[in-house]
Amino acid sequence: MTNNVDRLALFGGPMAVTDAPGDLFTWPIVTQEDEEAALDVLRRGAMSGTDVTMQFESDFKEWLKCDYALGFNNGTASLQAAMFGCGVGIGDEVICPSVTYWASGAPAYSLGATVAFADIDPVSLCLDPNDLERLIGERTKAIVVVHYFGHPADMDPIMAVADKYNLKVIEDVSHAQGGVYKGRKLGTIGHVGAMSLMAGKSLAVGEAGMLVTNDREIYERALAFGHYERYNNDIRSDSLKPFVGLPLGGAKHRMHQLSSAVGRVQLRHYEARQAEIRRAMNYFWDLLEDVPGLRAHRTTQGSDSLMGGWYAAHGHYVPEELGGLSVSRFCEAVRAEGVQDCVPGCNLPLHTHPLFQEADVYRHGRPTRIANAARDVRTLDANLPVSAGIAARVYAIPWFKHDRREAIERYALAFRKAALNYKELLEGDAGNPSTMGGWNMFNRK
Ligand SMILES: *Cc1c(COP(=O)(O)O)cnc(C)c1O
């Protein structure tokens, strides 16, 4: 690609991307196979059954090579059940990265537990293993690890700390289904994996979630919490046997079988589609390798590690290499080139939300975050510098679903133009707004 960059579209030059994207970003890919699977459930009147869901669970077990898989109505419920499965209860603490979707941590409240927020690693954007030990207290029970935007978290040192302190590790795989860390599939490295399969995620099924584990006790507890019709005499755990028939959590977590039916079809094609996404995304980043200010967010953990689906793909921004140009001004220029998806920031740091500071959800007469806690975990929030500042250093990039080289080159050109013309953009740069990103990845502009 030439270094002779055209005039920026923002200043009247030609746009880098002019063609309509067609199905370049369409996800999930729905074919007649999905439609027929869904129709079969409808015609059999099997929407609320479990036969298809249990087949989907079998497929999942085979795919991830794990002993147990349990379907859920959504990812949030699977995370709550994973926490309950790990024995999280009144007064316990769960460690969770501050930069993630709220459901990685918030379900702890409903179990009478609380959240201690960990900082993220500035490169992987996942939980920083070096920030764990400072957060561990008498009542720490579990660590929730998020493979953020598809990037595998550094699991080896996280598991080492968990072993040392006898903590459970819950992998939130909502962003990274099919990702691999040093030869091991994400979700199968910690004690339990839980994930969303909602329609916006990499493995997109509809409203659905999945819990996976090799630990029978965790599986049975997760099942007992919200799967009443399956909480029957097959239960082996002595502590659970006396209560069969009704859900311990007073919850109903069954997956809708339209989701499981579509899920079975989606999973059958997932590895092949994911491989194409990987080729496309890696090509995009390879094209930008030499551009100052821009860095790929992709695994450098070796050839036996892989990004999982590239959910909500983002890039790193290094303003120091672009004369201090704000990421919001940079994104404005990229959008003007015809790339609507280029927005600054990511998930806002959860520790700054009032839900984790003052909200008294259950009328304890004090903030829920400390209602049952042995200590004020809010004081630990003061030391989360990467989480607090990350929004100024990341931006969303196009999430290609097809490896179409010519189109990808045009998108990459938009980013290249904006970065190489940074000096022009500095004039009129009002700086970043006080908040960038959002509490979720919807409607973020
Ligand atoms: C989407 C998401 C969830 C929640 O899943 P739902 O299916 O929306 O309930 C949990 N954790 C992360 C990191 C997510 O992105």
DSSP secondary structure of 257-274: HHHHHHHHHHHHHHHHHH
CA 175 / ligand 1 centre spacing (Å): 8
Instruction: State the Rg of the chain over Cα.
Output: 22
Instruction: Tell me the angle at which helices 405-420 and 257-287 cross, rounded to the nearest 10 degrees.
Output: 60
Q: Where are the beta strands (DSSP E) in 68-146?
A: 68-72, 93-97, 114-118, 140-146
In testing the pocket of ligand 1, which one of 78, 104, 444 has its CB within 8 Å of the most ligand atoms? 104
Report CA(364)–ligand 1 centroid distance (Å): 27
**Main-chain phi, psi angles of 132, to 5 degrees:** -80, -50
Q: Quick check: CB of 259 below 6 Å from ligand 1?
A: no
Q: How far is the CA of 101 from the centre of ligand 1 (A)?
A: 6
Ligand 1 atom closest to the CA of 148, numbered from 1: 13
Q: What pLDDT sits at residue 2?
A: 45
Query: What residues pair up with 347 in beta bridges, in sequence order?
Result: 438
pLDDT digits (tens, 9 = 90+) for 360-370: 999 999 999 99
Collect the ranges in the chain with pLDDT lower than 70: 1-5, 442-445
Q: How far is the CA of 290 from the centre of ligand 1 (A)?
A: 34
Task: Provide the 3-class DSSP secondary structure of residue 426.
Answer: helix
| Phi, psi for 143 (deg, rounded to 5) | -120, 125
Contact indicator for 213, 219 with CB cutoff of 8 Å: yes
Predicted pLDDT of residue 440: 85
What is the whole-number distance in angstroms between the Cα of residue 382 and the centre of ligand 1? 26
- In angstroms, what is the span from residue 321 Cα to ligand 1's centroid? 34
What's the confidence (pLDDT) of residue 6?
83
Q: Is the CB of 100 under 6 A from ligand 1?
A: yes
For the chain, the distance separating the N- and C-terminal CA atoms, rounded to the nearest angstrom, is 30
For the Cβ of 174 lying below 6 angstroms from any atom of ligand 1, the answer is yes
Q: What are the structure tokens assigned to 417, written together?
A: 């133009």
pLDDT at residue 441, rounded to an integer? 74
- Extended strands (E) in 358-426: 394-396
d(CA 227, CA 221): 10
CA gap 123, 324 in Å, rounded: 19
Identify which of 48, 8, 51 has the alpha carbon closest to the alpha carbon of residue 337: 8
Whole-number pLDDT of residue 444: 62
Number of the ligand 1 atom closest to the C-alpha atom of 74: 7
Domains belonging to the chain, first-starting first, are 32-264 (3.40.640.10)
- Determine the residue of 83, 196, 202, 310 to mutate for testing ligand 1's pocket, defined as the one with the most ligand atoms within 8 A of the Cβ atom: 196
The preferred substitution site among 94, 98, 198, 346 for testing ligand 1, maximizing ligand atoms within 8 Å of CB, is: 198
Q: 198 CA distance to ligand 1 centroid (A)?
A: 8
Q: Please give the distance of CA 110 from its chain centroid, rounded to a whole number.
A: 21
Q: Is 76 in the pocket of ligand 1 (CB under 6 A)?
A: yes
CA-proximal residue: ligand 1, atom 1 (nearest): 196
CA 146 to centroid of ligand 1, rounded, Å: 10
